Structure 1
Amino acid sequence: MPGEEQNEVLLKLPTFWTTQPQVWFEQAEAQFHIRQITADDTRYYYVVSALDQNTAGRIIDYLREPPHENKYEGIKTLLNTTFGLTRQERAAKLLHMDGLGDRKPSELMNEMLALMEGHKPCLLFEQIFLEQMPEDIRLLLAQDTFTDPRGLAAIVRPL
């Protein structure tokens, strides 16, 4: 694609975030979309160029012999699997939340929803959130239906 070559020069992705690979890919894909970069090879090589020495070293076998097709999806899956939290790790983090602390309820809710990775909050999720709140707020929210978790968290003001 003729316009893509010009766009390629304008993009410099940040160094890959091993602590939050899914978030890094969301940002990278936003940049690809803005610049209309859709070619598999181009996206793959941008990702490779954003890897630091340690990260590249951990996946060197893939870098030496990437597949002929779907290179980008392959490296995305590999990096998310290698550095992202497993389903069990995300569940454990939800179950063992440290409480509200000095965070706003909306910040806690955002963290909890991120751990859900798109799954719909359920009864257990609601209870975990409530248990992080001070008792007076917990009592006020106990009857809420949690149809809009972020909206609910935004209106909560610890006393």
Structure 2
Amino acid sequence: MDSSLSEISPATLSLNIPVFNPSNIKSWFIQIQTLFDAKRITSQRIRYTYLVEKLPTNIVKEVIDLLETITEENPYDRLKEAILKRIGLSNESMLRNLFMQVELGDHTPSQLLPHMRILLGDNKMSENMMRSLWLDKLPASIVQILAPTAEGTEPDKLAEIEDRIHENLQAC
């Protein structure tokens, strides 16, 4: 009997992996990892099986070479790495989105800041530069109110203040 099968329990069988999220594959894998940790699923083979089960057809086509023959050594880690590499946005694309396409939209200022940090990816940027870029994405009315305090205040603290200003402006 396969030793990884001894890991299967009723709790394991009830694992509810979220639907694949192509807009942020990295966060999707973080959700899956959290579920595996909560259910104490450590077997690479079982993790691999759950992962394959949730992959949409268009993603399966991109990694079919890894699905046709399952490697004995770390199949889940290898498949995860391949998906991130083949399907995920490159660092360059994420940076382009950060500088060119990010908008406040329906987000609050405090939601926008972590989103921008995610898009920064593995790249480095000073807090001052991130604060400046983030402030550029906010409505001028909010930035004008905060201008006197923005320079020396941490971006996360500024985001909290800006959320309150944003709420008050929305209520008017």
TM-score relative to the length of structure 1: 0.84
Q: Please state how far the C-alpha of 1:29 moved relative to its aligned partner.
A: 0.7
Distance change (3 Å), C-alpha of 1:12 and 1:109 = same
Larger % of helix: which?
2
Match of 2:135 among 112, 130, 148: 130
Moved more, 22-31 or 97-106: 97-106
Q: RMSD of the alignment, in Å?
A: 2.3
Aligned counterparts of 1:47 and 1:153: Cα–Cα separation in 2: 36
Moved more, 3-12 or 116-125: 116-125
Q: Please state how far the C-alpha of 1:11 moved relative to its aligned partner.
A: 1.3
Which residue of structure 2 lines up, in the alignment, with residue 8 of structure 1? Answer: 12
Q: Please state how far the C-alpha of 1:14 moved relative to its aligned partner.
A: 2.6
Q: Please state how far the C-alpha of 1:143 moved relative to its aligned partner.
A: 1.5
Distance change (3 Å), C-alpha of 1:63 and 1:141 = farther
Aligned with 1:96: secondary structure?
Answer: helix
Please tell me whether residue 150 in structure 1 is matched to residue 150 in structure 2.
Answer: no
Q: Please state how far the C-alpha of 1:106 moved relative to its aligned partner.
A: 0.9
Aligned counterparts of 1:54 and 1:120: Cα–Cα separation in 2: 32
> For 1:40-55, what aligned pairs fall within 5 Å after superposition?
40-55=44-59
Which residue of structure 1 lines up, in the alignment, with residue 148 of structure 2? Answer: 140
CA contact under 8 A between 1:90 and 1:116: conserved in structure 2? yes
Which residue of structure 2 lines up, in the alignment, with residue 94 of structure 1? Answer: 98
Aligned counterparts of 2:83 and 2:17: Cα–Cα separation in 1: 15
Distance change (3 Å), C-alpha of 1:2 and 1:83 = closer
Relative contact order (alpha carbons < 8 A, sep ≥ 6): 1 or 2 greater? 1
Match of 1:23 among 27, 45, 70: 27
Q: Please state how far the C-alpha of 1:66 moved relative to its aligned partner.
A: 3.1
Distance change (3 Å), C-alpha of 1:67 and 1:141 = farther
Runs of 4+ in 1 over 6 A off after TM superposition: none
Which residue of structure 2 lines up, in the alignment, with residue 67 of structure 1? Answer: 71
TM-score relative to the length of structure 2: 0.78
Aligned with 1:77: secondary structure?
Answer: helix
Q: Please state how far the C-alpha of 1:126 moved relative to its aligned partner.
A: 1.9
Aligned counterparts of 1:118 and 1:140: Cα–Cα separation in 2: 31
**Residue identity in the other structure for 1:51:** L
Identity of aligned residues (%): 28
Structure 2: runs of 5 or more not aligned: none
Aligned counterparts of 1:116 and 1:71: Cα–Cα separation in 2: 29
Distance change (3 Å), C-alpha of 1:29 and 1:98 = closer
Q: Encode CA deviations 1:121-151: one digit per residue, 9 max, x unaligned.
A: 51322210121231414623441242xx333
**Residue identity in the other structure for 1:140:** P
Q: Please state how far the C-alpha of 1:41 moved relative to its aligned partner.
A: 0.8
